[in-house]
Amino acid sequence: MAKNLVIVESPAKVKTIRKFLGTNYEVDASNGHVRDLPKSSLGIDVDHDFEPKYITIRGKGDILSKLRKEVKKADKIYLATDPDREGEAISWHLMKALKLDEQESKKVYRVSFNEITKTAVKNSLKSPRKIDMALVDAQQARRMLDRMVGYRISPLLWAKVKRGLSAGRVQSVALRMICDREDEISAFIPEEYWNLEAQLLQEGSRKPMKAKFYGTRHGKLVIHEKKEMDQILADLKDQVFMVEEVKTGERMKKPPIPFTTSTLQQEASKVLNFSTQKTMRLAQQLYEGVDIEGHDTIGLITYLRTDSTRIAEEADALARKYVEQVYGSDYVLKSDVSTKNNGKIQDAHEAIRPTDITLTPAKVKDSLSRDLFRLYQLIWKRFTASRMQPAVYETVSVKISAEEYLFSLSASQLAFDGFMSVYVQDEDKEENNTLLGKMEPKDVLKAVQLTPSQHFTQPPPHYTEASLVKALEEQGIGRPSTYAPTITTILARRYVTKENKNLYVTELGEVVNGIMRKCFPSIVDTRFTANLELLLDKIGDGTVKWKTVVENFYPDLDEAVKMAQETLESVKIADEVSDVVCDLCGRNMVIKYGPHGKFLACPGFPECKNTKPYLEKVGVPCPKCGKEVVIRKTKKGRRFYGCEDNPECDFMSWQKPSLEKCPKCGGYMVERGSKLLCADEQCGYTMNIKTKAAEG
């Protein structure tokens, strides 16, 4: 009887797939890639048609030796790696490393499946294909471009900042985006505005309704300062509040679309507080297979790296049938589901969905760890909801007049929960007034209270892992497989730190970003990187030759590296001599870079190993105690301004304090962009720095 060998990437898949196939099949794993470019050199022959030099990855010799023995015993070999360009490349490297293309007596096939279920695996074996060299070439091009950037630029960072740093084609753009957002926040000038709420009582009612100030009969009005508010309050004194217009209606809330890699990472971050890395690790387990009581080992979700929202017809039909049986026919989505696929979709993947909708979270809960269960439940609910009817709200909007001024009052009540019976997002948890009592035009309302409130516009928020993934996707930077590794890398390099979900650039990150922007502007340019991603996709389509992309990219990079070497010759970033004397040996200590930024070290190392924190003074007295303000860092590396007398003095500010006192309240002011702002938000005083300098 013929012997068949199926080669997959991971041992977890081996365990799952082996149970689907008979004794005639041997299933083994390559443990990921078996060949790669060498770590010791660029590994690309730039003088001879940019030919890559692949070598066996260290530690993979025994695995390849075992696979060669299995190949000898088999008549048919099925390369069953992941269904994307990385998986396609692993299959191609396996074919080369095992010399399968040289063995005429063996039949070698490529098979792929979007889900690891018995049906999907068996069907794939019935319809094998050849390796898709266009996808392989797309992966080769990506790997070589990343290698060129990393190996040519990183040594410059080692020489000028510290060893162990790295530059990356996607990570450097992500770092720049975080730095640009920090600059936006630093330059943001808050503007004062006021809201006005009227508590109004209907005749016969005991509970007042909350109406919001809209403006005048001429249009919407923004209240900028207190004197404007005081005038409006004076005008409203003793005025009659009357219903002008009542509109009733219906609002539909559409069901969500199924998860892509990006949206799963975003939602898992918001709802479950998972990092992108954790989400992908757990999703990988759910995809590769888990032991489910009564079902043996099964892959619970489809392939996790996808930017498609398409769902297979069979899965769609089964989902609608399930919804009808469990929730009733009124809950089944009547229309076809529109997908939001665009030109960036790299292949014909499905969205992320459960492989079997009847395996509800309740049925698998006892078989899964807590976090695996929570992620599976999120995916199951999202997919099920996507096949359900929209939610319907009954709405009422009321326009209320008080002479020339207008107020608005709105309320909504859920009339039909639809998909929300399964899946509710934070934005769905609306604060509803419930439906108001019946109102008619010309009804008079009693003003119980007018409540003004002062507010200030807020700067753009710091990136979180979720919002950074969203921004990367929207700008076409990276692909589903790169979001999590990119964020993991910039955190591991300590270019960025994470506090309460927010990402903050560190001093080290600022230095690296500054060098990259100055010397390699195209590498950190979002449009350039997005265009490169599109070219990689076109290689995968077979419409662009991969070596054309590589040979066009390298000369510009090579020239930029040479210019950067000359430019950075004169740049001295580390080892500046300070005025701090080493209290062990008497030498003047020097400024060096460590994992968290600058620190003081004795130049007599290794004889003298004395180090101290580097506290950079900013030339401003502490507003609390009069001693000097210095730049400090949080435990995770985020920079702030504090007193040199810490912990005796607890002064701290995220913005640099100024020597100027606020002329309005007498408090201290801080620098933000071209302005000085009172540190007391309630004061809200601002001053133009240039104007102040001119006065001085």
SS3 of 221, please?
coil
The amino acid at 211: A
Catalytic residues: 303
Residue 649 lies in a domain: no
User: What tens digit of pLDDT does each residue of 618-630 get?
Assistant: 889 999 898 999 9
Instruction: Tell me how far apart the alpha carbons of residues 242 and 442 are, in angstroms, rounded to a whole number.
Output: 6
Query: Which of 370 and 348 is assigned the larger pLDDT?
Result: 370
- Give CA 631 to chain center in angstroms: 29
Residue 315 lies in a domain: yes
DSSP state of 419: G
Tokens of 685: 């005083």
Look at residue 77 and tell me whether its pLDDT is greater than 70. yes
Q: Which stretch of 153-162, 208-217, 568-577, 653-662 has the lowest confidence by average pLDDT?
A: 568-577
Residue 220 has what pLDDT?
A: 95
User: What tens digit of pLDDT does each residue of 439-497 get?
Assistant: 899 999 999 999 999 998 999 999 999 999 999 999 999 999 999 999 999 999 989 99
User: What tens digit of pLDDT does each residue of 106-152 get?
Assistant: 999 999 999 999 999 999 999 999 999 999 999 999 999 999 999 99
Of 409, 425, 456, the last residue of a domain is 456
- Give CA 522 to chain center in angstroms: 22
Same domain, 69 and 113: yes
426 confidence band (pLDDT: 50, 70, 90): low
The string of DSSP letters for 449-478 reads EEEEEEEE--PPPPPBHHHHHHHHHHTT-S
The string of DSSP letters for 659-671 reads EEEPTTT--EEEE
Residue 434 has what pLDDT?
A: 56
Same domain, 286 and 349: yes
How distant, in Å, are the alpha carbons of 121, 328, 431, 602 from that of 126?
Answer: 9, 37, 54, 69
Name the nearest CA neighbour of 170 among 411, 536, 489, 387.
489
Residue 351 has what pLDDT?
A: 97
Which range has highest mean pLDDT (145-149, 338-342, 649-653, 679-683)?
A: 145-149
Same domain, 312 and 403: no
Contact yes or no for 150/144 (Cβ under 8 A): no
Residue 353 lies in a domain: yes
Spell out the residues 6+ positions from residue 334 whose beta carbon is closer than 8 angstroms to its own. 389
Structural domains in the chain (count): 5
Residue 592 has what pLDDT?
A: 82
Tokens of 460: 């753009």
Same domain, 536 and 492: yes
Residue 690 has what pLDDT?
A: 59
Residue 256 has what pLDDT?
A: 95
What CATH number should be reported for the domain holding residue 46? Answer: 3.40.50.140
Residue whose entry in the numeric block shows the structure tokens 């099949």: 25
549 confidence band (pLDDT: 50, 70, 90): very high
In angstroms and rounded to an integer, the radius of gyration of the C-alpha atoms of the chain is 31
Of 353, 386, 419, the last residue of a domain is 386
Angle 506-268-294 (CA atoms, 0-180°, nearest 5)? Answer: 140
Residue 48 lies in a domain: yes
Residue 610 lies in a domain: no
- What are the start-end ranges of the H helices in 520-601? 526-541, 546-569
683 confidence band (pLDDT: 50, 70, 90): confident
What CATH number should be reported for the domain holding residue 484? Answer: 1.10.460.10
Residue 691 has what pLDDT?
A: 53
Q: Which residues are bridge partners to 4 per DSSP? A: 25, 76
Residue 687 has what pLDDT?
A: 83
Instruction: Tell me how far apart the alpha carbons of residues 118 and 116 are, in angstroms, rounded to a whole number.
Output: 7
CB-based burial, 478-511: b 16+ in 10 Å, e otherwise: bbbbbbbbbbbbbbebbbbbbeeeebbbbbbbbb
User: What tens digit of pLDDT does each residue of 321-365 get?
Assistant: 999 999 999 999 997 765 544 444 444 689 999 999 999 999 999
Same domain, 396 and 377: no
Residue 573 has what pLDDT?
A: 55
Instruction: Tell me how far apart the alpha carbons of residues 101 and 595 are, in angstroms, rounded to a whole number.
Output: 47
The string of DSSP letters for 109-172 reads EE---SS-SHHHHHHHHHS-B---HHHHHHHHHHHHHHHHHHHHHHHHHHHHT-TT----TTHH
Can you tell me the mean pLDDT for 301-309?
Answer: 95
Same domain, 451 and 471: no
Residue 204 has what pLDDT?
A: 82
Of 350, 371, 386, the last residue of a domain is 386
Same domain, 437 and 357: no
What CATH number should be reported for the domain holding residue 241? Answer: 2.70.20.10
Can you tell me the mean pLDDT for 400-427?
Answer: 91
Residue 609 lies in a domain: no
Same domain, 269 and 360: yes
Residue whose entry in the numeric block shows the structure tokens 């009581």: 293
Tokens of 214: 């809209």
Same domain, 12 and 114: yes
Residue 274 has what pLDDT?
A: 97
Same domain, 371 and 474: no
Same domain, 322 and 287: yes
Contact yes or no for 329/367 (Cβ under 8 A): no
Residue 344 has what pLDDT?
A: 45
Residue 638 lies in a domain: no
Mean per-residue pLDDT of the chain = 90
Q: Which stretch of 31-35, 44-48, 580-584 has the lowest confidence by average pLDDT?
A: 580-584
Residue 201 has what pLDDT?
A: 92
Same domain, 496 and 528: yes
What CATH number should be reported for the domain holding residue 311? Answer: 1.10.290.10
Contact yes or no for 574/161 (Cβ under 8 A): yes
Residue 570 has what pLDDT?
A: 63
Residue 629 lies in a domain: no
The amino acid at 57: I
User: What tens digit of pLDDT does each residue of 570-615 get?
Assistant: 655 556 788 889 989 999 999 887 766 678 999 888 899 899 888 8
User: What tens digit of pLDDT does each residue of 237-249 get?
Assistant: 989 999 999 999 9
Range of the domain at 329: 261-386
Instruction: Tell me how far apart the alpha carbons of residues 288 and 259 are, in angstroms, rounded to a whole number.
Output: 18
Residue 342 has what pLDDT?
A: 47
